[in-house]
Amino acid sequence: MNVRKWMKRMVILDLLMLGLLFLIHSREEAAHAALETAGRSAAYADLEVGGQDAAYADLEVGGQSAATGGDGTKRIALTFDDGPHPRYTEKLLDGLKERGVHATFFVTGANAEKYPEIVKRMQEEGHLIGNHTYHHVQLTAANGEQFRKEIISTNEAIREITGEDTEYIRPPYGAWNKRYEEELNMFPVLWTIDPRDWCSDDASCIVRNTIGRVKENDIILMHDQYQSSIAAALEIVDELQEEGYEFVTVDELLFD
């Protein structure tokens, strides 16, 4: 089955999950807004969220707020998951370079090893490279050790290519356990805006779903796996630059 068709069907399941999720008090205020758009899969039916069960008390799902920059600039972070893609990521990098924009790429270890030259180019052009597990594995209550190994394998792949360690991870579907932060020295980066670019081939629709919701210090979640996503991302950059936004990497947004 076509991946996009499958994921569109998953949206229906997402809507069913939303009713339950809105009844759960998140430990972070920003998580409430992100629950409207955070991607889910059917496997979430087996997970407890927000500390309902002591066994899952550290499992976090959803969005994340950004720290306000001290210099008063109107900043925003554009992030891309799942790549690199042999064609679309290169086109995206070309467009970002033309616009003087730095983004954050959460790469899978498998794709990084397939296309190391693209990962190296990301580094050389000033983008931040983060971990998205090796095979895009979602954390569940039963696969903690596999998830840990996926993180380590991807860190090793990135280090082999760039010569540098990565401290940032976007856990697939936003599922995370705080114990990995200390154990693996990894900082999870979630999002505040998800335009669901993976389920639409209409670039203008993706742009509308983003621009109308943007505010200072947002983290935009996109994917560098689709032509429509690349076209939308560059249009979003153009429109927000006209509005005075500066695009920065997530480490700059969260900690500077």
From 81, 82, 194, 218, active-site residue: 81
CB atoms within 10 A of CB 79: 25
Is 81 among the catalytic positions? yes
- pTM of the predicted model, to two decimals? 0.76
Show pLDDT as tens, one digit a residue, over the chain (256 residues): 444 444 444 443 443 344 333 333 333 333 333 333 333 333 332 332 322 222 223 444 445 544 544 555 799 999 999 999 999 999 999 999 999 999 999 999 999 999 999 999 999 999 999 999 999 999 999 999 999 999 999 999 999 999 999 999 999 999 999 999 999 999 999 999 999 999 888 999 999 999 999 999 999 999 999 999 999 999 999 999 999 999 999 999 988 7
Is 223 among the catalytic positions? yes
**H or E stretch including 209?**
helix 203-211
From 132, 197, 223, 224, active-site residue: 223
Domain boundaries, the chain: 75-255
The conformation of residue 100, written as its DSSP 8-state character, comes to T
* Topology of domain 75-255, CATH: TIM Barrel (3.20.20)
Distance CA 53, CA 57 (A): 6
Distance CA 199, CA 194 (A): 11
User: How many alpha carbons lie under 13 Å from residue 24 in its C-beta half-sphere?
Assistant: 22
